[in-house]
Chains A and B, each alone.
Chain A
Amino acid sequence: MLIIQTLIYGLAQGSLYALLAAGFALICGILKMITFAHGEVFMVGAFVALGVIVGLGLPPAVGMAAAMAAAMALGVFIERVAFRPFRGGSSMSPALITIGFSIALQALVLLLAGADTKPFPYGGGEFKLTVGSVSVSGIELTVILASFILVALLQLFIRKTSWGLALRAASMHFDAARLMGVNTNMTVALAFGLASMLAGAGGLLFGAYYGAFYPQMGVVMAFKALAAATLGGITSVSGAVAGGIMLGVIESLSVLFISSGYKDIIAFSILILVLLFKPSGLLGRFEEEKV
């Protein structure tokens, strides 16, 4: 039953990747550009939530709302400053500016919150769902369910609302969408806002799941989520989510069957192999519906 247990850990880790990967897919699907500050949006969301929960003593659900709101504001700000002035121009400038944002935000949080890793005030070990020798703790269920619900809400939004239609239109053909009367400025800001809300929520879930909040928490996560999004198809939200979950599961299984030291080598070898045979990712399609 060890394998089922390991799959559950992989699923929890993977759903955290998926929250970030979906954001990369939203942004990249429309702008064909990558933000390098997404991990820091994730981190700022986590710290805002921690401040609300520990500093103000409010319940975790309020912390989650605060994380999403703060991350959304930050994401929209980054779009306004780093992406909008360069739209249609070189994609190098936004990339470099977001690298600057990433470094500056880490340094800012380091100064404001200090260098020490902060714990999460709620333990996760009280509630347990045990079936045979497989047990799922409350925090694992929370992480998996919350991620699932957020991704489902995002999909509903994209498929069922007129704003979602605008997102899909802009991702298919940006200029044509604008000519057809889609407010593309609003649409791009919306994509950043949604992506950042998911990242902020993911930040809190990450901190709560591992019991660790620290200024570099977004760096490796964003890097791996970007890889996961590429694996699934960076221009497709469902592809990116699938990629995130796959990456988490592959990592966990390689710990179980081979050795923890080889975890990243195996995961990223699979990534390279997939991209060699299917350059647009597993679910990505060229010039078709992308968001």
Chain B
Amino acid sequence: MRFLFQAAQAIRLPMPVLLAGIIFLGLMLKFPLPQALAADKEPIYFGVAGPFSGDNAEYGAMWKRGFDIALEEINSQGGLEGRPVEVVYEDTQSDPRQAASVAQKFSRDDRLLAVLGDFSTSATWSASPIYQRAGMVQLAFNPSHPDLTKPGDCVFQLAPDQTVQAEALAGAVIDILGAKRLAVLHLNTDFGKAVRDNIVKAAQSRGVEIVTTEAYLPTDKDFRAILAKVKALAPDAVALGSYYTDTALIMKQARDLDFKTQFVASSSVHSPALFTLGGDAVNGLITNSVFNFASPSPLLQEFTAKYSARYKENEPDTFATQAYDALRLLINAAAQSLKNGDLNRKSVRDELAATKDFPAVSQATITFNAKRQLAEPHLFPIIARDGHFLPYVKP
């Protein structure tokens, strides 16, 4: 103690400061800060541009769940060659204007190797040219527009596109149920219009009459007037180009109107949230699942178990599974690049484009074709029944 006191006098520091300094040093040595350790291995960064506030915030929240599980998996194994994987979130509200400015920011951020998102086709397209110029992968894993990847060779699509979805739906409803008259209700967005066009085409090629197509805005919550009009036209089935929130409201309001018909929708409604919002009213809705939970692969079983344990829900949804797969695809592309000794934006793009038979959750395996879309998209018809989705088989 006396020595310390003399030392403090010698270097002209008050005693408490010196003591504090010694304690601090000791703590540093005993408990090295985690950042200090990780810093010698630079993390691998990916950007995420999606809706984390605004009208579509709930879908962004689902993405986060899928990303978090994928990140935990890779980082608990020590990352990629010791480098942790991190994602950088930016909120675009899936608004085309904000998507473009986020794209400017992301493409200038040299840490970022690739970008995941956006949620809507329109927001994806407004950002595509910017990522394309930066030579940066834009893996838009939710949008299902058939022309999504047209802007360039950096744009990738993970969802089975609407031509495939429409064929599958038309097959389920028309071939199996024998519907003769079909009405289409759709969001007035690039996505909704793609659903409408493809369903109309698939239905007409089977000789089914389209009684009406009605568009609504993403902000609309009142479907009673539309439904009353459609009900009067007496269709055998109503096809929806909608997400789960609007689908739940549409089917609830249809029940209030005593409008009993067969509703079908694209895979964008496949979420347990459909039941929290729609309750019994959504019973009987037929849709496509991107993942085959009738006979799940081991990977899907593992993901479902992790998801249920973490989020206390029975089953994952389309948005979380696609987010999980998308991030794993990028991690895989980065791992392949590291193996070849060169990791940059171009190597990630090339490795991603070369993805072949990659075991995944939202599809059993993923292979990209020359248009950077799924080479062999598989869809599984499912039906909503009493709070669960069940594989749909002919009644």
Contacts and interface: CB of A to CB of B under 8 A. Distances in A.
Contacts of B54: 216
Interface in A1-21: 2, 5-6, 9-10, 12-13
Interface string B212-229: 001111010110111011
B229 A9 contact: no
Given A116-B61, A124-B256, A261-B214, A210 B221 contact: yes
Contact of A119 (B61, B188, B276): B276
Interface residues of B, number: 36
A2 B228 contact: yes
B249 A6 contact: no
A216 B224 CA distance: 21
Nearest to A5: B228
Interface of B: 52-55, 57-58, 60-61, 188, 214-217, 219, 221-222, 224-226, 228-229, 232, 245, 248-249, 252-253, 255-258, 273, 276-279
Contacts of A217: 221
Nearest to B231: A2
Contact of B229 (A139, A212, A214, A255): A255
A114 B61 contact: yes
A210 B225 contact: no
Contacts of B224: 9, 12, 252
* Chain A at the B interface: SS class: helix
A137 B222 contact: no
Interface string A115-147: 111110001110000000001010100000000
Contacts of B279: 119, 123
A115 B60 contact: yes
Given A6-B225, A210-B249, A255-B229, A115 B57 contact: yes
Contact of A210 (B188, B215, B216, B222): B222
Interface string A1-45: 010011001101100000000000000000000000000000000
Given A135-B258, A139-B256, A259 B215 contact: yes
A217 B54 CA distance: 10
B64 to A, nearest CB: 10
Nearest to A130: B258
A13 B221 CA distance: 10
A259 B57 contact: no
B53 A10 contact: no
A220 B217 CA distance: 11
Given A13-B222, A114-B58, A261-B215, 6 more contacts: A9-B222, A117-B58, A119-B276, A206-B221, A220-B219, A259-B214
Contacts of B226: 255, 260
A275 B226 CA distance: 28
Contact of B225 (A10, A119, A135, A220): A10
A39 B139 CA distance: 36
Interface in A51-69: none
A106, A137, A255: most-surrounded residue (chain B CB, <10 A): A255
A203 B352 CA distance: 48
Q: How large is the interface on A (under 10, 10 to 19, 20 to 34, 35 or more residues)?
A: 35 or more
Interface in A81-114: 106-107, 110, 114
A6 B227 CA distance: 10
Given A219-B219, A259-B214, A260-B214, A211 B277 contact: yes
Contact of A2 (B60, B188, B232, B278): B232
27 contacts: A6-B225, A6-B228, A6-B229, A9-B224, A9-B228, A10-B225, A107-B53, A110-B57, A115-B53, A117-B245, A119-B278, A123-B279, A124-B256, A210-B221, A210-B253, A211-B252, A212-B221, A212-B245, A216-B55, A251-B225, A255-B214, A255-B229, A256-B229, A260-B214, A260-B215, A260-B225, A261-B188
Contacts of A2: 228-229, 232
Interface in A134-179: 135, 137, 139
Contacts of A12: 224
Contacts of A114: 58, 61
